[in-house]
Chain A
């Protein structure tokens, strides 16, 4: 009996948590805390707790989808720092090229203070790829300068070798991936942002 009503409440909260998953984590936690608190208070107020009483209590709370829509709607209405979102995305991509390390770090800060993206999206934005386009550019410059350096000092006799060619191919693939990954991440975050604002 008691476990049936507990399961109804757990199902409801589970659905709500899933509906809220694209909100920033702090907001999601606050809403989950408040609504599970509300349910606990309402249950304590019941004269007799049975399945019907719990069902009507949850009905009065409303559909999780509706609550989530209300929460998302406010995200868009605020649009606080939404211009900063764009600055953040640009800095994440090329900030490190313009101002080594610092430019990218500012981009990361803007990404994390924004309310537009979820925590998962922020982690993706930070880790793929640290430094943005600055990292592959840096690698290209370093390997190019290493090649021109080694040429004259080593002498022309035993300069060319098989392993270095294989390494060059691997290096080239790595650099291409490192170029594409941050571009893809930026496109992904921009699309998520458009979507977040559109649901307002």
Chain B
């Protein structure tokens, strides 16, 4: 798989997150990158491909993943989660070990900025304290 991506750019590996960041080579059109990714997706070799964003304030990279950090308002747990599953198609993942009303929810078949869009929709719900993409975030040491 890495070889296929290296045809269109350089690959930066993030082993702990099982993520490759692809830097498109100069002169390679975006459509060629899309085609390479689509081929890998068709072969079920990748779970998702999302853009790398940049936070304008800190200048750090924000890699969108398929995860959203969701904090529910107290007392609205199971019914709210069920509603989110049916309305937005999200999958409830890890329950936070420190915060009793916090979860990681997954956005299936994500691509582009869909995780960000779903997070915004969840964040607007009355039963949600906050919902925000669980970015793979750049850290400045």
Query: Is A bound to B?
Result: no
Q: Which of A's residues lie within 8 Å of B, judged by CB?
A: none
